[in-house]
Structure 1
Amino acid sequence: MNEGLAKTYNPKDFEERIYEFWNENGYFRADVNKEKKPFTIMMPPPNVTGNLHMGHALNGTIQDILIRWKRMEGYEALWLPGTDHASISTEARVVAKIESEGKSKQELGREKFLEEAWDWTEKYGGNIRNQLRKLGVSCDWSKERFTLDEGLSKAVEEAFIRLYEKGLIYRGDRIINWCPSCGTALSDAEVEHEESQGKLWHIKYPAKDSNEYIVIATTRPETMLGDLAVAVHPEDERYSNLIGKTLILPLVNREIPIIADEYVEREFGTGAVKITPSHDPNDFEVGARHNLGQLRVMNDDGSINEHGGKYCGLDRYEARKEIVKDLEELGYLVEIKDHANSVGHCERCSTIVEPIISKQWFVKMQPLTEPAISAYKEGKLKFIPERFGKIYLNWLENLRDWCISRQLWWGHRLPVYYCQDCNEVIVSRENPEKCSCGSTNFVQDPDTLDTWFSSALWPFSTLGWPEKTQELDYFYPTDVLVTGYDIIFFWVVRMVFSGLEYVGDMPFENVFFTGLVRDSQGRKMSKSLGNGIDPLDLIEQYGADALRFSLVTGNTPGNDMRFYIERVEASRNFANKLWNASRFVLMHLDENAVDENQAISNLSQEDKWIISRINTVIKEVTENLRKYELGIAAQKIYDFTWNEYCDWYIEMVKPRLFSDDNKDKDTAKYVLLIVLRDILKLLHPFIPYITEEIWTYLPGKDKELIIEQWPLYNEERSYKDAEKSIDFIMESVKSIRNIRAEMNVVPSKKAKAIFVTSDADLNRILSTSERFFKTLASASEIQVTESKDNIGEDAMSTVVGNCTIFLPLEELVDMEKEIERLQKEKEKLEGEIKRVKSKLSNEGFVSKAPKQVIDQEREKEIKYQQMMEKVLERLDSLRNNR
């Protein structure tokens, strides 16, 4: 007897040990192997400053399921991990550290600051790496990359220079997202939009030399200082006589033209829009069409500059107060309305972002997006779920040029140099030695590149690009990207056009979008709400397997999921069920190997049934995984393991394990073991720790489970007749159990079961199945007959297929006691029904109680009435049969 598996399931006993064993023995490694097909996943690099959250846990679990499955299928499966340098976040933390020591970033200077940043990153960064390990991720840590390491820095520099040489990178003045607090441009991904209740100020702009005026509405009165025009729709009859005339800008007294532009929505507001080209992206485009020029009225720190007249030097919000006050005093303020508005905030510091014109470096997007659009339309890129394809195309078709420069020191510095004598701009892989003017006086651009510029190269820079490495040739393009749908614009699209531009091939064939993990009320998890859940706490309490399984079961690609702690508890219960079942099987196995041929020749109906069912499950789960239906696959394995293997098959064969028929006993052991092996293989990608631990104790294994072969469907293991037989037996047992439950019959009370059927197949099945009904349905015996004439009326019945099952009442219950019990139940229900009816007929209650409370009472009334009907029906039956 094998007693190696611990009596109690405790994941703390083995999870860490098993992970180290896998890692130390190189099971996560993947290398160029021409004898195998490659399968590649690139881990979306989390921020080096980050910590594991539920989104990471979901994303990591899905990737690990796919990579473990493909590894078992025989692929050279590479899952390459890494972290992102997170320019803004890391710099902010290092600056805070420096300031806490009484210094400043500027005092240190760039070189010393970067030394501090590297020290901080090495000391505090990468926590998430160790946290991911606790989740059980089987990525190739030997190939871990960091977006600022030497190889990736070379790739970033090369990518910038190639685009510049093609004329796709330029420097210019355009509207960007600006954080006054961080002092840098931001990508759209670094701006979080929050709904807030603001104001809409309606302001009168008088026409020059006229009593006429135009009313405009704005949510940012301070930007009116930079207005260069007011626009109306060319077909708007209200303003047709004013087009081409000028207005006097209130407070500033500058003349501005009234222009006609189709950008204006006639039906929105007053149909007139102030145009501030330096402070609004749409106004920038209008201004360019009408040659309005630029007038920036705000400094980088958010204060009003010298163009703001008397408001110069005021913070933007102080200036707003003064401007509104002056407008009111001078009679220009028409009204103020409450206005719900989506306001952009800096992701790092929560400061409200300013759209502002700034001299930055940009990438021309149209030449890059066209191949990315074609690739999708030609079917070279697939989205899971497919609906995200429309979002992908919509974004690409409306893409503005990409601002790639950041006013930060931590990051990839632009390979751009300026001659201090003639202002020539030189983009170079090396520091230039001499300018065309003969000068050697150069200064490198202080800006760094947007973090997304480097992460856009992630699928191929991590494999050695721009060098033509063996790894790049073998593992690229990758197979699937697993990422949240919220960054389709910022990352997925950029990887696609970057792969096509630099490598000439798609970076991946499939994109699996995960949804967001929300709290049980459907809210996004956040620090401000205090509803975040730490995955590490759950792993500590329930184990990594339970967390993983709870995240994937019931999950569908692209859809948000609500997180319930009860689901984790249910998953741990499942792991405990698997543990106990495995321990039961192991306790009945010995060192003597069962003769496989003998066992196969001696299979009973239940043996053939469970073998056929696991065979079907193997086929279906494999198909589900290929379609990326991970939640469906997990549920199918769960249902089979818990319901069919544990609750039915093990219970069916228990008598055989204790019988004197050694041949039959050995067959049962053989089947228990081979099915358990397949269960563990199917479950391993989902719950790797417990399956590997149980596998360790199975006899006859020759390798670890992590590298075992994925089970294959075998037509020879399909026994449809056996499935039909056992399905009938199971349905019959369940029906008998239901009758006994309704009659409150204790399991120890045995009763005869009479099967009435003329179906020859059912007769054949029943002739060899009495043992199941005795074991599983508390039957004292079973009788099979074609007629119910001799059964009598004092029996409960149920129909299963072509068979009617009768249970004689006198063998089930003491009729007098049961009638007495049901009479008390009837009286209790009558009281409840009377109470509810009285409540609902009370006008005071109905008029004052909340709708939810009233609905609950009405639901109770329906429930009690249904219960009463059943009690009365059973009372009538018992009294008639007395």
Structure 2
Amino acid sequence: TLGFPREREAFDRLWPADFITEGQDQTRGWFYSQLGASNVAFGCAPYKSVLMHGFALDAEGRKMSKSFGNVVTPEEVVNQFGVDVLRFYVLWANAPWDDLKFNWDGVKTIHRTLNILWNVYRFPLPYMILDSFEPATGEGERWDDSFVRAHIRDMPEEDRWIISRANTLIRAIGEDMQEYHLHRETRALAAFILEDLSRWYVQLVRPRMWLEEDSPEKRYAYETFYYVMRRLITLLAPFTPYIAEEIYRNLRLAGDPESVHMLDWPEADDLLIDPAIEDDMEVIQSFDDAVATARQAGKRKLRWPVSETVVVTGDDGVKTALLDLNDLARTRANARTVRVVTGTWERILWQAAPVMRAIGPEFGREGPKVKALIEGADGTALKAAIEGEGKAELDGYDITARHVTFTEALPAGVFAAPMKDATVYVDVTLTPALEAEGYAREVIRRIQEMRRQLDLNVDDYIVADVHVADGRIAALIGEEEWKNEIAGEVRAAALTIRRTDGERPAEPFALEKDWDVEGIQMQIGISRADK
């Protein structure tokens, strides 16, 4: 191929090979024969690195064979899910040197992951177009990261966090690439798309999409999205070349190379990596999961506000994160306050249980009476007395720590869930003010769904009419504060909220629907507002 030995220039430049790869069956037939021949002829190895790959088996680990009827051809997967899905799946499913146990469920998982990537990419585009957003450019109208580097200290926590996570990902993938740990790279990319971007950052930044066009926080969100997507598609390009190229062609600026595959491989920027904010955000994510669990136990949806969420912990890292990112914690918990308590929360109650193996020998025939006294006592007061004075008196009997055990008893309306190194308590008790906000959020969600059904543009205004069967609830959300909030969120030029009188509006709306909102019947009608 190189014309050796007649021509030496290409041979001297390209040989020995940087990398070769073959299947397990080629250990002796290809790897070793090359090694032996090269050492005999030239006294050195013919390659610098070797990767031995496994074979493709069926889901049970059997060889694919027509006689078994278990053959899956690449064309089948490509025709159903696309070539990028197949490529990513094969690299993601196992280490390169292990056999692949082909599984359709795994293929579907990767298909969903890449669909989510596409949805994340598309999420900010309507807002960017509406605001005529242009990413900051460097020399020759070519994109660079100078804006992010210059403003990183001024950006909100969630922007600094996702930028840090992106650079941590770049560093990790660069290290794994050197060792050909392709499964680690693809799994890290999938986790970043699903967990960091879709499940977390998009949810945190969504409200900022509705800020005024010239808002710094909105500009930061746009620049952060653009930065992360540019870095991400460059990392994805070797694994999903087609979807990476499709996204790049839309994000590409005038001075940028024509293809994503012409970009330099990204290097992690140590100045943009912030381990402290990554650690803090990991705590908030654990807190977020615990709040969701406690709310589910208390049958209180996340869009309904709660008065207080308390975190009891002895861990300094948990305490620091919840204090540093308290605004974010309150937003995620949808709570008026989020407090951190060391030791025991003052509202926790205790239930006392007698220890008969200690009571029986000590009190003899009086044991059953002592047992009844402990069971009927105020467990919280009993525990406080024993901890404070070493004993408590019940009807003339001295009760000490060996006679009783205590279990936590939550106050009415409070529900608990564990998180890493802490316990989260959520008080789901409703007040009229909390009810008003909760029902307002429910109305907003339903009107937004109706906007989608009418296929309205993001910037379209509507007129809306809300009839509520319950007069008390109608009065709560009809107050000026919540009426204005609803109108602002759904872009209503005119909004009417009133108790249902049984009559339909004289002028029909473009869309009218009956809703059951937490047991309250509502009739909602909307139309596009006249310009």
Asked if these proteins are the same fold (TM beyond 0.5), I'd say: yes
2:275 paired residue number: 720
2:345 paired residue number: 788
Q: Does 1:620 align with 2:172?
A: yes
2:425 paired residue number: 806
Of 474, 477, 485, the residue aligned with 2:24 is 485
SS at structure 2 position matched to 1:788: coil
1:638 paired residue number: 190
Q: Does 1:685 align with 2:224?
A: no
Of 134, 137, 141, the residue aligned with 1:592 is 134
Query: Is the Cα–Cα contact under 8 Å of residues 322 and 329 in structure 2 kept in the other structure?
Result: no
Which structure is richer in relative contact order (CA contacts within 8 A, separation 6 or more)?
1
SS at structure 1 position matched to 2:337: strand
Of 51, 55, 62, the residue aligned with 1:516 is 55
- Report the residue type matching 1:559 in the other structure: D
Compared CA separation, residues 517 and 785, structure 1 to 2 (3 A): closer
Query: Is the Cα–Cα contact under 8 Å of residues 586 and 698 in structure 1 kept in the other structure?
Result: no
Query: Is the Cα–Cα contact under 8 Å of residues 609 and 723 in structure 1 kept in the other structure?
Result: yes
Structure with the largest fraction of helix: 2
Q: How does 1:328-477 map to 2 (within 5 A)?
A: 462-477=1-16
SS at structure 2 position matched to 1:789: coil
SS at structure 2 position matched to 1:784: strand
Of 17, 26, 39, the residue aligned with 1:500 is 39
2:264 paired residue number: 709
Identity %: 26
Q: Residue 593 of structure 1: CA displacement?
A: 3.1
SS at structure 2 position matched to 1:478: coil
Separation of aligned partners in 2, 1:638 and 1:542: 17
Query: Is the Cα–Cα contact under 8 Å of residues 152 and 160 in structure 2 kept in the other structure?
Result: no
1:559 paired residue number: 98
How many pairs align?
352
Separation of aligned partners in 2, 1:497 and 1:783: 69
Query: Is the Cα–Cα contact under 8 Å of residues 298 and 428 in structure 2 kept in the other structure?
Result: no
Separation of aligned partners in 2, 1:765 and 1:497: 59
Compared CA separation, residues 535 and 784, structure 1 to 2 (3 A): same
Query: Is the Cα–Cα contact under 8 Å of residues 763 and 784 in structure 1 kept in the other structure?
Result: no
Residues 198-228 of structure 1: CA distance to partner in whole angstroms, max 9, x if unpaired? Answer: xxxxxxxxxxxxxxxxxxxxxxxxxxxxxxx
- Report the residue type matching 2:284 in the other structure: I
Query: Is the Cα–Cα contact under 8 Å of residues 753 and 805 in structure 1 kept in the other structure?
Result: no
2:117 paired residue number: 578
Q: Residue 653 of structure 1: CA displacement?
A: 1.1
Separation of aligned partners in 2, 1:537 and 1:756: 51
Of 242, 246, 249, the residue aligned with 1:696 is 249
For structure 1, list consecutive stretches of 5 or more residues without a partner in the other structure: 1-461, 815-882
- Report the residue type matching 2:417 in the other structure: T
Residues 66-116 of structure 1: CA distance to partner in whole angstroms, max 9, x if unpaired? Answer: xxxxxxxxxxxxxxxxxxxxxxxxxxxxxxxxxxxxxxxxxxxxxxxxxxx
Residues 710-744 of structure 1: CA distance to partner in whole angstroms, max 9, x if unpaired? Answer: 11122211212212221221111111112223444
Residues 526-552 of structure 1: CA distance to partner in whole angstroms, max 9, x if unpaired? Answer: 232232111012111111110011111
SS at structure 2 position matched to 1:509: coil
Query: Is the Cα–Cα contact under 8 Å of residues 135 and 226 in structure 2 kept in the other structure?
Result: no
Q: Residue 579 of structure 1: CA displacement?
A: 0.6
Query: Is the Cα–Cα contact under 8 Å of residues 615 and 713 in structure 1 kept in the other structure?
Result: yes
Q: Does 1:534 align with 2:73?
A: yes
Query: Is the Cα–Cα contact under 8 Å of residues 94 and 100 in structure 2 kept in the other structure?
Result: yes
Separation of aligned partners in 2, 1:760 and 1:532: 55
1:729 paired residue number: 284
- Report the residue type matching 1:713 in the other structure: A
Moved more, 712-721 or 594-603: 594-603
Residues 129-178 of structure 1: CA distance to partner in whole angstroms, max 9, x if unpaired? Answer: xxxxxxxxxxxxxxxxxxxxxxxxxxxxxxxxxxxxxxxxxxxxxxxxxx
- Higher-Rg structure is 1
Separation of aligned partners in 2, 1:805 and 1:543: 44
Query: Is the Cα–Cα contact under 8 Å of residues 86 and 107 in structure 2 kept in the other structure?
Result: yes
- Report the residue type matching 1:808 in the other structure: D
2:161 paired residue number: 609
SS at structure 1 position matched to 2:244: helix
2:403 paired residue number: none
Query: Is the Cα–Cα contact under 8 Å of residues 588 and 669 in structure 1 kept in the other structure?
Result: no
Separation of aligned partners in 2, 1:715 and 1:666: 23
Compared CA separation, residues 471 and 658, structure 1 to 2 (3 A): same
Residues 798-852 of structure 1: CA distance to partner in whole angstroms, max 9, x if unpaired? Answer: 344565421124349x9xxxxxxxxxxxxxxxxxxxxxxxxxxxxxxxxxxxxxx
1:80 paired residue number: none
Separation of aligned partners in 2, 1:597 and 1:513: 41
Q: CA RMSD in A?
A: 2.8
1:669 paired residue number: 222
SS at structure 2 position matched to 1:632: helix
Q: How does 1:748-787 map to 2 (within 5 A)?
A: 748-756=303-311, 765-766=321-322, 769=325, 772-773=328-329, 775-777=331-333, 779-784=334-339, 786=341
- Report the residue type matching 1:470 in the other structure: E
SS at structure 2 position matched to 1:468: coil
Q: Residue 746 of structure 1: CA displacement?
A: 3.5
- Report the residue type matching 1:542 in the other structure: F
| TM-score when normalising by structure 2 | 0.61
Compared CA separation, residues 507 and 597, structure 1 to 2 (3 A): closer
- Report the residue type matching 2:256 in the other structure: D
| TM-score when normalising by structure 1 | 0.38
1:236 paired residue number: none
SS at structure 2 position matched to 1:782: strand
Compared CA separation, residues 730 and 509, structure 1 to 2 (3 A): same
SS at structure 2 position matched to 1:546: helix
- Report the residue type matching 1:751 in the other structure: V
Compared CA separation, residues 654 and 511, structure 1 to 2 (3 A): same
Query: Is the Cα–Cα contact under 8 Å of residues 23 and 53 in structure 2 kept in the other structure?
Result: yes
Separation of aligned partners in 2, 1:686 and 1:593: 26
Moved more, 765-774 or 463-472: 765-774
SS at structure 1 position matched to 2:307: strand
Separation of aligned partners in 2, 1:607 and 1:748: 23
SS at structure 2 position matched to 1:806: strand
Separation of aligned partners in 2, 1:767 and 1:692: 42
- Report the residue type matching 1:642 in the other structure: L
Q: How does 1:36-47 map to 2 (within 5 A)?
A: none
Query: Is the Cα–Cα contact under 8 Å of residues 330 and 338 in structure 2 kept in the other structure?
Result: no
Q: Residue 696 of structure 1: CA displacement?
A: 0.9
SS at structure 2 position matched to 1:810: coil
- Report the residue type matching 2:74 in the other structure: P
For structure 2, list consecutive stretches of 5 or more residues without a partner in the other structure: 137-146, 350-410, 436-531
Separation of aligned partners in 2, 1:535 and 1:655: 43
Q: How does 1:58-457 map to 2 (within 5 A)?
A: none
SS at structure 2 position matched to 1:479: coil
Q: Residue 644 of structure 1: CA displacement?
A: 0.7
